[in-house]
């Protein structure tokens, strides 16, 4: 029911993505700045699955700024397009094979490695 979800932590990130509404993730900072690499990889993964979203660089810059890892962009992403993108990302996630099946396939492929 929100126009924008401001979230913190991985569990909230999962729920926000499933909601299909625009979100900004405040990632938990780590002393060695590992969170910066994690956030950069995450934003690039999301953007790579959403071709044609002109405001994707603004979203990435906003996500970095929200986490103190970059400068604030001059303009935020346009809300209607951001909302469409969020639904598109949710659809992408829904098309993935469930985790249990993925783990079973992985384990079956590695069964000869044990010995």
Q: For residues 28 and 2, give the distance between their C-alpha atoms in angstroms, rounded to a whole number.
A: 22
Task: Decide: 30 and 36 in contact? Cβ < 8 Å.
Answer: no
Task: Decide: 73 and 58 in contact? Cβ < 8 Å.
Answer: yes
DSSP structure class, residue 93: H
Confidence of residue 62 (pLDDT cuts 50, 70, 90): very high
What is the mean pLDDT of the segment spanning 31-57? 92
Burial environment of residue 56 by CB neighbours within 10 A (0 to 12, 13 to 18, 19 or more): buried
Task: Decide: 28 and 8 in contact? Cβ < 8 Å.
Answer: yes
Q: What is the pLDDT of residues 77-109, one digit of tens each?
A: 999 999 999 999 999 999 999 999 999 999 998
Indicate the pTM of the whole model: 0.82
What is the mean pLDDT of the segment spanning 16-43? 95
């Amino acid at each position: 029911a929100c126009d924008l979800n401001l979230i913190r932590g991985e569990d909230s990130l999962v729920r926000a993505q499933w909601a299909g509404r625009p979100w900004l993730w405040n990632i938990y900072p780590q002393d060695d700045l590992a969170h910066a690499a994690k956030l950069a990889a995450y934003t690039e993964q999301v953007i790579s699955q959403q071709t044609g979203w002109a405001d994707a660089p603004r979203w990435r810059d906003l996500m970095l700024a929200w986490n103190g890892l970059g400068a604030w962009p001059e303009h935020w992403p346009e809300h209607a397009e951001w909302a469409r993108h969020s639904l598109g990302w949710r659809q992408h996630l829904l098309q993935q094979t469930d985790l249990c099946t993925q783990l079973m396939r992985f384990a079956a492929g590695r069964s000869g490695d044990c010995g």
